[in-house]
Amino acid sequence: MATLIAVLPGDGIGPEVTAQAIRVLQAVAPGHDLALEFAEGLIGGAALDAGEPPLPPATAKLCDSAAGVLLGAVGGPKWSDPEAVLRPEQGLLDLRATLGVFANLRPVKPHPALLSASPIRAELLADVDIMVVRELTGGIYFGKKTRSDTDATDECRYTVAEIERIVHVAANLARARSGRIVSVDKANVLETSRLWRQVTTRIMAGEYPDLELEHMLVDAAAMHLLSRPASFDVILTENMFGDILTDEASMLAGSLGLLPSASLGVAGRGLYEPIHGSAPDIAGRGIANPCATILSAALLLRHSLDCEAAAGQIEQAVFRTLDDGLRTADLAGGAASASTQEFGDAVLARL
């Protein structure tokens, strides 16, 4: 019986990069006795254009029945009216809530062949290997919102249970790495951060005494992430801080187009997507970097299908492609040596 993978290409460059990831999954599956079936659904702006809500009921049903969900990107200027009742990004938030994926994993490990693509000095990037663990379904993005002609509010709310479960995820990952966690908050100002720090300290001291825990304010973390990135191992943080810090961390790798992510719940089913946006300025030109989406597909194999060998095979094929000098436009200062399709072809050849 085939394993169902839900594919949500989304907006902008999303369809272009997800197409390459699907090709790679189709190529690697037979060698690992995987029978994969792919079904597409609408989300974001594409759903709005079709007269549907940002997360159509049919898409939610598809994703709920799938073993994993591969997402391209959502949003763009076409749907950016701040007065609009429905916006593409709401589809992504609703999908996270529907799937119950609360732990967002974003690995940041600059590839040696691409150190010159980063604006950060190469000597600062040696040995950088960071795992950002971002809480995904709480905080200010999911709090109550109000708006009037004269004011607006966004409530930031966290419960003890929400913090406890994300701390356990970070701690178990740290045990498999170098045993160090930096928990990022704004406890000098925010009550939610004070609760975050209190709960994290209690859980770590009581259940993970073998691990090293450091608390760091988010502004200091943003600075140190660029000035001494190799000092971080696992970064644990709440929703909005994690969103911002991981985009910043992408500059260590050289491009948003390189970094994948996995959003996990308690049942193994996950949502996998590149950390970049829909890049509408380059959509349809065939120049988008598919690396992050292909690597997100590898994370799907690892975390939702428990197929480490296939995941590693894809990752090594991507890395060898980069080692061999192929560069999409984002990595080549405009002098690209490969289109989106050609980069996908090269990865397939190395599989």
Which active-site residues does the annotation give?
Answer: 141, 186, 219, 243, 247
DSSP 180-208: EEEEEE-TTT-HHHHHHHHHHHHHHHHH-
For tokens 């500059």, name the residue: 251
Residues in the chain: 351
Burial of 337: CB neighbours in 10 Å, binned 0-12, 13-18, 19+: middle
Alpha carbon distance 235, 200 (integer Å): 12
Helix (H, G, I), strand (E, B), or coil: what is residue 146? strand
Query: What is the DSSP annotation of 269-330?
Result: -EEEEESS---TTTTTTT----HHHHHHHHHHHHHTS--HHHHHHHHHHHHHHHHTT---GG
- One-letter amino acid at 192 equals T
Q: Which of 288, 298, 339, 263 lies closest to 24 in space, CA to CA?
A: 298
The CA distance from 59 to 210, in Å, is 43
Q: How far apart (Å, rounded) are the C-alpha atoms in residues 217 and 213?
A: 13
Query: 105, 136 in Cβ contact below 8 A?
Result: no
Cβ count near 184 (within 10 Å): 28
Rounded to 10 deg, the angle between the 340-350 and 308-323 helix axes is: 120
Residue 227 · residue 66 · CB < 8 Å = no
Distance separating alpha carbons of residues 218 and 233, to the nearest angstrom: 16
Q: Are 319 and 348 in contact (CB under 8 A)?
A: no
